[in-house]
Amino acid sequence: MTLIPNPFDLNGKAALVTGASSGLGRHAALLLAGAGAKVALAARRIEPLVELERQIESQDGRAIPLRLDVTDEASVRDCVAAAETELGAISILVNNAGIGETKAAFDVTEDDWDRVVDTNLKGAWLVAQEVGRHMAHLGHGGSIINIASVLGLAGSQRIPAYCASKGGLISLTRALAVEWARHDIRVNALAPGYIETDINRAFLASPAGDSLRKRIPFRRFGRSEDLDGALMLLASDASRYISGSVLVVDGAHSAAL
């Protein structure tokens, strides 16, 4: 009997991770590098990326740091070109760069709205479009993973722009999946629930955070590593026939609403 090759092996593949300087983006870069991918680390701040590059290469991985402003089309174009020059054709994109703004809806200014939507939705679109062009032109296909949120599927108070941007990203994911299937480009969204990071750790430890935790059936917040299986599925050839999907990882929180 012939053994089935490991479909999760990423050796020889090149990946681009946006928002890689911290949080989920940093974790995703380490995960992909650990599975054998060469990883382009992209974010506005270059210093944390250089440190992450050192960490990956100290464990015999391959990574390069690249400055990227996802809201600037020229920056996106230059970043993708540099990544492919150094690492080869990109076959995996983790579209992770994103920000939030916590304000009552009546208090959100036009600048607040534009800043969040430009980063979370327009920025994701610009990066996906540029990487998708390269994938289609080179004819090798690939996987685009948009990091959405369960808050793109269900509303929440005091973050209207964030909810709208992530809901739009989910719709964009489905639209691109349909249009780019003929190029063998898979486009999926990963929708995490409440995942503990340095940015939200203080809030999640507060009384309000504890009240939120009690509404999650698992009775705990997620950890970055809880996303590993979903991310590896979507990044690897194991998802070769999955596209246009939204994979929710939230400890059954949204199922209980």
Which residues are catalytic, by number?
A: 162
Phi and psi for 215 in degrees, rounded to 5?
-90, -5
Largest CA distance in the chain: 65
Beta strands in the chain (DSSP E): 14-18, 38-43, 62-67, 90-95, 142-147, 185-192, 246-249
* Separation in Å, CA 72 to CA 22, 77, 119, 125, 251: 20, 9, 10, 11, 35
170: nearest Cα among 132, 204, 124, 126: 124
